[in-house]
Amino acid sequence: MSSHKALDLAIIGGGLAGLIHLHYARRAGLDAMVLESRGGVGGLWRELPAWQDIQVCLADWTAGDIPVAGPAQPQILANIESWVDRFALADGIRLNSPVRQARHNGACWELGTPGGTVRARHLVAAIGGHSQPVIPEVERHNSRVRELHSSALHDLTELDGRDVLVVGGGASAFDLLEQSLLHRARSVRWVYRHVRWFTPTNKPKVVAGSFRPYGKMQASDMSVEKQNALIDADLRARYERFGIQAILPERPIDMRYDQLIPGRARMLQRFAEIDRHRGTVQAIDGVEVTLSDGARLTPDLVLWGTGYGTDLRFFEEPRLAAIQTLHELAARCGCIFRSLDAPDLYFPGVGLDGVGATSWFYAIGARTIMSHIRGTAKLDMDPVHRKLNHLDMIRHLVPRDPGSFTPDRGWEFYRDLTLETADDRAYPLP
């Protein structure tokens, strides 16, 4: 049924970001509700295959003493679900409530759901920057090749003894190469337009994905140019040591725009076994796959490691509905989170894209959004035009949110916290 009384805040999405925002909304005394399209919380983590894992170490995923038992999908889902019980959030979550239309009527947001219209003065779209699996458009004629996006590869035994073609040059593709080699694919081919920077290492992701050294660079007031130079030199030395200069990215790493992606040990150890092609998939005709370099392959399985997009088509505002990528969305936000295209609308996912302690920074951002709603903070409308990850985000928010960043809990406090917290310990909840 329709809700006639407007909430202070509606939150679209019951993943990690949505639950954290609900907790901080309640802590701020706001009347808030999460609208989740699925039958349970967890967001994309509820549907991902069990082998999927996080790109950060456990300490960088955890906030405070909210437990996380491991890096794989079942443990991450359990960690997200634990927020509900820990902070008694269940009565503020409406499951099986996809938002089919979102419009601002000049006074408040109206959200169309199967249970009726929900109205709210403010709206947090916590749908994540990676809500829509992307498979590029290719010509298909009577295709008989099995195709799976990385998010749909649930049964890894499908790889055993198969000829596999992995498509993509980022984290998802690296995972698929790793799994194909680990689960005894007969042959592994890889096609990519370009390869993103990653950290070549023999360490597992749960160790190699630590951002603490990067945070300490920021805490020491090192310029971003110096950070870039040190990280770039380290990565190039690693690429040379592992003998993978053939996939060295074309430009130097720039932490204002790039991610820090941990390496994949088995992919590096068996790199010479991977048949690499620089280009794209052009067509699939019957059992034959044609690549842009002219190669014609007959794989048993095409694995799309082509990442995710952002699906905002439920917004009535056409400028929002047309956005398809996290980069486009970030460009349409002021002060990291605040939409430039509609009033009282916030996108928490744009402030975290691969460099930062996930739960902790969602919590810090959520606290500031609630301060803005209550009038004790001011999120301006100036686009940042680059990533503000890890401590850069705190440095940006401190002067805009004096209600949260008090004189004894300002920049110096968080700088010292970063320098003094052991690398294997979670940061405390703000």
- For 253-289, how does the pLDDT look when each residue is reduced to its tens digit (9 = 90+)? 998 888 888 889 999 999 999 999 999 999 999 999 9
What is the per-residue pLDDT for 2?
53
d(CA 104, CA 123): 10
What is the per-residue pLDDT for 206?
81
What is the per-residue pLDDT for 125?
97
pLDDT in tens, 20-75: 999 999 999 999 999 999 999 999 999 999 999 998 889 989 999 998 999 999 99
In the chain, what are the domain boundaries? Answer: 7-132+309-420, 135-306
pLDDT in tens, 117-176: 999 999 999 987 777 899 999 999 999 999 999 999 999 999 999 999 999 999 999 999
What is the per-residue pLDDT for 257?
86
What is the per-residue pLDDT for 1?
45
Order of strands across the sheet that contains 163-167: 146-149, 301-304, 163-167, 187-192, 275-278
Single-letter residue type at 249: P
d(CA 231, CA 183): 32
Phi-psi region of 106 (alpha: psi -120 to 50; beta: other; left: phi over 0): left
What is the per-residue pLDDT for 3?
52
Enter the tokens of residue 278. 């620089």
Q: Does domain 7-132+309-420 have CATH number 3.50.50.60?
A: yes
Any idea which of 106-110, 237-241, 294-298, 352-356 has the lowest mean pLDDT?
Answer: 352-356
DSSP 3-state of 296:
strand
What is the per-residue pLDDT for 354?
55
What is the per-residue pLDDT for 304?
98
Work out the percent of the chain whose per-residue pLDDT is above 90.
82
**Is the entire prediction scored with pTM above 0.75?**
yes
Residue 166 near residue 190 (C-beta atoms within 8 A)? yes
d(CA 352, CA 336): 10
What is the per-residue pLDDT for 212?
87
What does the mean pLDDT of the chain come to?
A: 93
How many Cβ atoms from other residues are within 10 Å of residue 105's Cβ? 9
Residue of 361 and 304 predicted with greater confidence: 304
Work out the percent of the chain whose per-residue pLDDT is above 70.
97
Q: What is the CATH number of domain 135-306?
A: 3.50.50.60
Residue 262 near residue 200 (C-beta atoms within 8 A)? no
What is the per-residue pLDDT for 323?
94
